[in-house]
Chains A and B, each alone.
Chain A
Amino acid sequence: MSEQATTGLRRFGARALPHAFILPPIAYLCLFMFWPLARQMWMSLTDAKLATPNEGQFVGLANYARLVETPAFYASLKVTLVYATSAVVLGVTLGVISAFAINRPFRGRAVVRAVLLFGWAVPNVAAALIWLWMFNERSGVLNQILTGVGLSRLRWLTSIDWAMPSILMVTIWQVAPFVMLVVLAALQSVPDEVREAARVDGADPLNVFRAVTWPHILPAVQLAGLLVAVWSIRRFDIIYLLTGGGPLGSTSTLVVRIRQTAFEAHELGMASAYGAVGLVLALLIAAIHQLVDRRRARWMADR
């Protein structure tokens, strides 16, 4: 083989190698994400039934038209937005505070960190069952504490006023440790010399936080917020096991409605339309995140 040919082959190899590396993840995504997603979008345009998913007839936008005429859809949408927003705000705030709390060394830090991480480590179903017992009106530990301090028992999961806060309590118990971990990693990568330089320049602790620490950890906080938001839109197990969407639909998110539509009414086409709305919501949040991230990068560059 001539030297020219060998060089050409090497060049081709060098060019092809990155593509070869990226091929398996692309194949994986196509097979397990894009294809099912495309199937779901197609199904939302058909009258497919659960028992005969491949025999649905094309009905155009009929499922979507029915969706927008259903009051329950708007109720579910509202519940989803309230749930996701609250989970993000409370989960991220608590996670950031926890990260700051355990950032500096203190006695028993390892134990505190392990305790705080417990919620993240427990599988969702197990967590839901543990909390189900804790919320029990008659024998749950939460009501025993309330009665112990002279307060009356609460119907944690069966009253309209308390079901959503109870679900949020479990959700935040699960997501805040994740946020804490992400923010803690970012906090520990803030260079000490930059902080020191700010202090030398006369900055008080609040200004050090505002000018040095916060801009450094902001991307991590944003990413954690995005993930918590998307997970909250998709979360099913905790909500379904604790309340089944009740009472009176006060915890019936879009995902719970999908389950009811697909597995009780057997309307797979309609359930896919609900799923498509959830997908649009998640994409919308990702787009907002992208926009905010770009603005932040521009702002940082301008400083």
Chain B
Amino acid sequence: MMLTRRSLVSAFAFAGLTSTVPAAYAQAQKAPVTLVIANSQWLDALRGKNLWAALVKYQQVAPHVTLKQEAIPSADFNDKITTALGAGQGPDIAIMQEGLFYSIADAGFLVEVEKAVEGVKLNGTNDKGIVKGKRFGIAWQRAVYALIYNNKLLEAAGAAVPTDIDGLIAAAKAVQSKSGAIGFSSRHQMADFSGWFMDFQNWAFGYGVNWVDGAGKLTLNTPEAVAAVAAFKKVYDAGVIPVGDDMPTQRMRFKQRQVGFSIDNSGGTLNIASGGPLSSTDLRATPLPFKNPGAHQQIFIGISRHSKNQAEAAAFLTWLAGPDGQQALREASGPDALATDLPVTESFRATNPWADVFAELAVNSRSTLIPGYEIKTAPIMRLVMEALEKVIVAGANPKTALDEAQKQALARF
């Protein structure tokens, strides 16, 4: 028999069909499953839509699976997920900040996912996904903090890019007096506590604070912590912060070209750069104006112990951590670091000149959780933030305020 080109093509096509048809047939035969995925990001104006579009690509690979959003505002996310899981309910999969991840993993509400990501070359962003020696989550995104600024306002004011606090105050004042815009936006009130304490970790880490000593004992009143609090007060007193504005309002103003500088994470920066009058190319990022590296917000994805579809959820995680899932997520995640080392796309870098700085800062950034006190970080940081509030609002001495916080911390934790 002569082997013609047509017969060869037919043979390969047949071979291809025989290998793929049973797999597709098997997929089609599987019982339909709905996986509910909870995330506060689904509510983000443009990013939420893009992230969801990335995830639903899984439905092409697994046609029997329907992904369903559970969108919860970030302010209520921790409360809602914790109470739902505590009551034996909740979503199949949750995408959450590491503080919540730690507390629900510790309470036994997440299932182990080591097998789901077997063979995947996970990067360092996944390290804290291991609790008590077991992997309960993989990194969804890591949003590192940087000092961001509106380059046009900076140029118009003739100010230099700041590298320290005094420079930041000078540049913010210059922007403010030249254009009438807000000099520097920052969370600064207890109504924003959950975001404020994470933001403040940049100041603390920047001044070399660890919150625990070498022996693991809580130390809230170190000279470094006093310096960080004093530095924040200096900026607060400079009159460059829009006192009273919450963070969504401040980000909106930044988007409207009404803010000069801000310390924000890559996720927030992507929000500012998307869908508003501020052109993404006018937005710039630079390292934080402190001596030491700052913080990052680590987001994990985990599977609920109460899920009735744990095997399907694990299969979804396998896809997500694999090349196709990571590529899909990469395009929707802007500059955030992902579970595997996948660089920001060239097209994104070209239209967002600020993205590279975030990638560089992610190398040395630190978790906002206090080592050894991961589950208790929020109540401990409330003591710190109350001390900071005493300093900025009532003019208390930073050392005295932090000494009091230390006393309370030692009595409670």
Contact = CB atoms under 8 A, between A and B. Distances in A.
Interface centre among A245, A249, A264 (most CB of B within 10 A): A264
A205 interface: no
A52 B106 CA distance: 11
A161 to B, nearest CB: 10
B79 interface: yes
Contacts, number: 85
A243 B103 contact: no
Contact of B83 (A50, A157, A249): A50
Contacts of A137: 242-245
Contacts of B182: 138
B394 interface: yes
A249 B386 CA distance: 9
Interface in A218-272: 240-249, 260, 263-266
Contact of A247 (B190, B375, B378): B190
Nearest to A48: B86
B393 A243 contact: no
B244 A248 contact: no
A113 interface: no
B193 A244 contact: yes
Given A50-B82, A264-B378, A244 B245 contact: no
B85 interface: yes
A249 B390 CA distance: 10
Interface in A129-157: 132, 135-138, 140, 155-157
Contacts of A53: 86-87
A103 interface: no
Contact of B382 (A158, A241, A260, A266): A260
B190 A245 contact: yes
B82 A158 contact: no
Interface in A8-46: none
A180 B190 CA distance: 34
B243 A50 contact: no
B112 interface: no
Interface centre among B83, B103, B104, B244 (most CB of A within 10 A): B244
Contact of B242 (A52, A132, A138, A245): A138
Interface in B182-222: 182, 188-193
A101 interface: no
Nearest to B81: A51
A136 B191 contact: no
Given A50-B86, A266-B82, A244 B190 contact: yes
A156 B379 CA distance: 27
Interface in B73-121: 78-79, 82-83, 85-87, 103-104, 107, 109
Contact of A51 (B103, B191, B382): B103
Contacts of B394: 160, 248
A251 to B, nearest CB: 9
A155 B244 contact: yes
A57 interface: no
B308 to A, nearest CB: 20
B243 A155 contact: yes
Interface centre among A52, A156, A158, A242 (most CB of B within 10 A): A158
B242 A263 contact: no
- In terms of DSSP, what is the predominant structure of the interface of chain B? helix
B243 A158 contact: yes
A189 interface: no
B336 interface: no
Given A51-B86, A51-B107, A52-B107, A247 B189 contact: yes
A188 interface: no
Contacts of A50: 82-83, 86
Contacts of B242: 137-138
A159 interface: yes
Given A157-B244, A160-B394, A246 B389 contact: yes
B104 A51 contact: yes
A263 B189 CA distance: 18
A264 B192 CA distance: 13
Contacts of A136: 244-245, 249
B190 A263 contact: no
B179 to A, nearest CB: 14
Given A50-B86, A52-B86, A248-B393, A243 B244 contact: no
A156 B244 contact: yes
Nearest to A156: B244
Interface centre among B192, B389, B390, B393 (most CB of A within 10 A): B393
Contacts of B188: 158
Contacts of A266: 82, 103, 375
B82 A51 contact: yes
Given A160-B394, A265-B379, A243 B191 contact: yes
Interface centre among A51, A52, A241 (most CB of B within 10 A): A51
A247 B382 contact: no
Interface in A89-112: none
Contacts of A160: 393-394
Contacts of B245: 136-138
Contact of B109 (A51, A247, A260): A51
Contacts of A249: 386
B79 A243 contact: no
A132 B189 CA distance: 13
B131 to A, nearest CB: 13
Nearest to A243: B191
Contacts of A246: 189-191, 389, 393
Contacts of A240: 191
A243 B190 contact: yes
Interface of A: 49-53, 132, 135-138, 140, 155-160, 240-249, 260, 263-266
Given A158-B243, A248-B389, 7 more contacts: A52-B107, A53-B86, A138-B243, A138-B245, A155-B243, A157-B244, A244-B189
9 contacts: A49-B107, A50-B86, A136-B249, A157-B189, A158-B188, A158-B393, A244-B190, A246-B393, A264-B379
The 10 A-B pairs at the shortest CB distance, nearest first, are namely A246-B190, A244-B191, A51-B107, A137-B244, A265-B379, A244-B190, A247-B393, A264-B378, A263-B79, A51-B86
Interface of B: 78-79, 82-83, 85-87, 103-104, 107, 109, 182, 188-193, 242-246, 249, 375-376, 378-379, 382, 386, 389-390, 393-394
